[in-house]
Chain A
Amino acid sequence: MTFNVQTLFNTAQSYRGGKFVWVKNAGDSSRSTVLNGNKILNPYKGVGYAYAADLFEYKLGGSGYLLKTFKVAAPAAIDATTIYVNGDGYSHVPEVGNILMKAGATADTKAQSATVTAVTWISSTERFAVVLDKALGVLTTSDILVEAATAADITPETKGVYTFTMDTNAAAGDMLSLNGQEYVFSAGGTGGTYAVGLSATATVANIKDAVAAQYAEHFTVVADAADLVFTQKVGGVGDMPVLLVTQAAEAGALVASIEETEAGVPQSGGALPLVTNPNSFVEVDTLFVLPTDGSYGIDSVAYYINTIYKKEAFIARMQPLPAYVLGKNRSYIDGIFEL
């Protein structure tokens, strides 16, 4: 007991109510608990919540990851290092040191990741202002951020460009073959042939749609004067078309060539999500109260959790789920998430 010091203080705390998230169904009695539970490998460093129906990647080995998702609250420019995420009291809390990335369409989609260097909660808009050590790229309010496994930069793809040039206009009876598909020219362009135009440009325009259809899988094809420009849809995917020119035996004129204008390079680097296979639910709202970063002289704090499966939750009531997580859903009913 202290007699020699007087302490005055005020505190204010609001306790938020619970939010329904489970599908209430008295006819269903399924609830399965995982074996032994797991140690949480990515607990909150300070105070944080895991909400009911939050997803958790349970591993039989004894430790797993909590899926924390952050919904972008305001669009961000390509070079923005301060971004805003939802902080309405039911949202996950970003913390300094978190490595964030934009969740992709699949768990294998790599993206730029960045480390959080500062977090401020803005009460008026119920958002977190998150300062990152580098920009994540353009963000819209439909984007969802997740924790990344590593801090990694991404090198964007370079779409390869190949240019076909008709140096000399074709004459009737000339033929060119692109990867084995033959384009035969004739004066009228009938019977599966292509009309010879007044200039190479006009002739190229006549075959453009057919060539574009042939290469639709990997290339967009546009005509530019006497050129056809093949641009890769995905960097590094799609080889240079193979061209063979056959002039007509008499009065053949066609001269054409194809060359690489820009080499295609696939996207490289980037980070994968930390939680790739969320497979169980947190059952009830759970508060994390002790710091896990060793601050205040409290050390060796570890959190353990027993998660459940064979349950259903309303997607709209859950934390925002990225596409790759929604893809795991096995519910037959839209809007309900089932693991």
Chain B
Amino acid sequence: MANKYDTLGMVDKLWKKGLINDQGNSVFLQTLIDSKLEIEANQFFWAEHFSPDPLETALATDPKAAPAFTVRNILRVPDVMLDGHTPLSEVSQTDTDGFEERQGTIPQFARGLYETSMSRVELKARMDALGSDAAMVEQYVKNVAGIVRGANYTLSNMAAQALSKGGAISVNWGQGVSYDMPAYIPAANIVTAGTKVWTASDCDLPEQMRAIEEDFRERTNFKGAMEWNIDMAMIKSVFLKNAKFIEAVNNWMLVYGEQKVIVVNNGTSPTSTGIISEENLVAYSQSSLSKISPIRICKQSQMVQSLSGRTSTSGWAANRAVLRPAGLAGVIKHAKVADIFMLQNEASNGVEVSTASVQGGLFYIANIVSANGLYRQYHSNIYGRVRPVLDEFVEHVLVKTNEAD
């Protein structure tokens, strides 16, 4: 029976010319990714807090110069009131603002797909047997998209770490090399929980959070809007169980909440509910009744592959809450990848290489076809030199919720 599709041509397109369309332009993979990539719940966590730096860091021969990032933050000196002044006498001078600068390196990440002619022929045979079932093609497409998703998970994990560890990122997963990048927020911005640890049943959490916010604003003269970033696990285990938050949220419900219509007070039934939801909490924190800046719930998790198996992990540090200026926390610093440069400029004859950048240049994909004995081998590798960097690090406050004053 004749096939509806030319399966070999299809496989060929996917593997060998996966990045090139019929006109020879490198857009095929781009559309593939854009149209087929499933946006999973927390794959793009990084994008909630970071935006890609519009400038790509160049590769240079000096390892200190690049690929390294520099972020600067103004050190605000409080604006003071004027002095009493006698006419024609000298005027006293005001301190000037300084700035803090942080430099660091951008680490590289990679992963790939590998097929040989033999496995490709197997794939073709399977597709023939299935009558070119479109699902089989999807299966392959998912794989390429999968490594792109993996790249996003990597970014999300690092983004959660940067937020919850004061810029520190520790990469020690799977089978790759480990990286340890230290924290760079000011030491004074790492504060304790307040009078009680946040998990304490009698902890007045809204009040303690308000005090932390006020202390920070007084100390730094920061007047801008702020937000709390709290990990989903802590929301569930601490915030939704905290008596004072339940009380405050109930109060909000009575005044503004949509749920207030269901609270019926016949004089004997209680007017408040013992159970509040994440939605209630966030809405309360955004209301004018709230003592604290709005809460943003952080939810992310990733999978790690090692030789021994796969495990689930999360980038958010345990027992850490973040108070920071509202809006984006920073940028994704990214750099050119030496592997792509070498493949584009120095690949051997007989090695077919096609490369493309994905996600606006954050990552690069290389499709490599080379000799494998008599036959061929097909590699699809994704490379990225990326690091989420806090550019509000002077105003980034880290609360150790498990350490009381």
A residues apposed to B, CB below 8 Å: 29, 35-39, 60-63, 289-290, 299-300, 302, 304
Contact = CB atoms under 8 A, between A and B. Distances in A.
Contact of A36 (B175, B181, B182): B175
A303 to B, nearest CB: 9
A334 B210 CA distance: 76
Contacts of B62: 289
B177 A300 contact: no
Contacts of B110: 36
A302 B179 contact: yes
Contact of A39 (B64, B177, B182, B307): B177
A300 B175 contact: no
Interface in B3-19: none
Contact of B307 (A60, A289, A290, A304): A60
Contact of B63 (A29, A35, A62, A290): A290
A304 B110 CA distance: 14
Contacts of B179: 302
A33 to B, nearest CB: 10
B31 interface: no
Nearest to B371: A29
23 contacts: A29-B348, A35-B175, A36-B110, A36-B175, A36-B176, A36-B177, A37-B177, A38-B177, A39-B177, A39-B178, A60-B307, A61-B175, A62-B172, A62-B176, A62-B177, A62-B178, A63-B177, A290-B63, A290-B64, A300-B180, A300-B182, A302-B179, A304-B177
Contacts of A39: 177-178
Query: Helix, strand, loop or mixed for chain B's interface?
Result: loop
Contacts of B176: 36, 62
Nearest to B172: A62
A302 B64 contact: no
Interface residues of B, number: 15
A42 B387 CA distance: 25
B352 to A, nearest CB: 16
Contacts of A36: 110, 175-177
Contacts of A299: 182
Which of A29, A62, A290, A304: most chain B CB closer than 10 A? A62
A36 B64 CA distance: 21
Given A62-B175, A290-B64, A302-B180, 4 more contacts: A36-B177, A63-B177, A289-B64, A290-B63
Contacts of B63: 289-290
Interface string B144-182: 000000000000000000000000000010011111111
A195 B181 CA distance: 83
B181 A300 contact: yes
Contacts of A61: 175
Contacts of A63: 177-178
Contacts of B182: 299-300
A60 B307 CA distance: 10
Q: Top 5 nearest A-B pairs by Cβ distance? A: A36-B176, A62-B177, A300-B182, A39-B177, A62-B178
Nearest to B62: A289
Nearest to B339: A306
Nearest to B178: A62
Interface string B282-309: 0000000000000000000000000100
A287 to B, nearest CB: 9
Contacts of A35: 175
A63 B307 CA distance: 16
Contacts of B177: 36-39, 62-63, 304
Nearest to A60: B175
Interface string B167-209: 0000010011111111000000000000000000000000000
A63 B179 CA distance: 11
Contacts of A289: 62-64
Nearest to A299: B182
A29 B176 CA distance: 27
A299 B182 CA distance: 9
Contacts of B181: 300
Nearest to A303: B63
Contacts of B172: 62
B381 to A, nearest CB: 12
B132 to A, nearest CB: 35
With a 10 A CB-CB cut-off, give which of B110, B176, B182 has the most chain A CB atoms: B176
A26 to B, nearest CB: 13
A150 to B, nearest CB: 23
B373 to A, nearest CB: 13
B366 to A, nearest CB: 14
A304 B172 CA distance: 14
A121 to B, nearest CB: 24
Contacts of B307: 60
B254 to A, nearest CB: 52
A196 B73 CA distance: 102
Nearest to A304: B177
A62 B306 CA distance: 11
A290 B104 CA distance: 13
Contacts of B348: 29
Interface in B387-404: none
